[in-house]
Amino acid sequence: MIDEEIVAFINENKVATICTSNNDEPYCFNCYFSFLEKDGILVFKSSGLTKHDKMLQENAKIAGTIIPEKVDVVSIRGIQLEGVLLNENIELGLKSSTSYYLKYPFAMAMPGKLFAIQIDKMKFTDNTRGFGFKQSWERIF
């Protein structure tokens, strides 16, 4: 179970930076996301034709960050994460689309497909609780 403070922070935010690589070529992109907190899954939408879409098909492992839109250096808060892109299935597709389109209804009018990232590790930094405060979570397999 992911700590409530981590879940609350993730749900307060809208944009994640996701990083992937293929053949020693790193690449990062920003995306709007929704979060399936019970499953520890981040959902984002992409056209299916981008450089990162192609790279993720070759290497499903990702790293990423979530930080607030406005950053205050003294009270910085943020998530560092690692995970893997999941293959589609009907149940995951239904959960993902419900979560994403409830948060971003305008996205229904935009072409593309939803992707789901299973988060395997997270580190939450929250300097509002003291400089350097960190809280970690790791999926138990």
- For residue 122, give its domain range: 4-138
Distance CA 74, CA 138 (A): 27
Taking 50 as the pLDDT cut, the residues of the chain under it are none
Q: How far apart are CA 71 and CA 68, in angstroms?
A: 6
Domain total in the chain: 1
Q: What sign does the dihedral 40-101-18-111 (CA atoms) show?
A: positive
Give the pLDDT confidence score for residue 78 in this predicted structure: 96
CATH number at residue 54: 2.30.110.10
- Model pLDDT, residue 48: 82
Give the number of other CB atoms < 10 A from CB of residue 32.
Answer: 16
For residue 19, list its beta bridge partners: 28, 63
pTM of the model: 0.92
Q: Residue 11 has what pLDDT?
A: 97
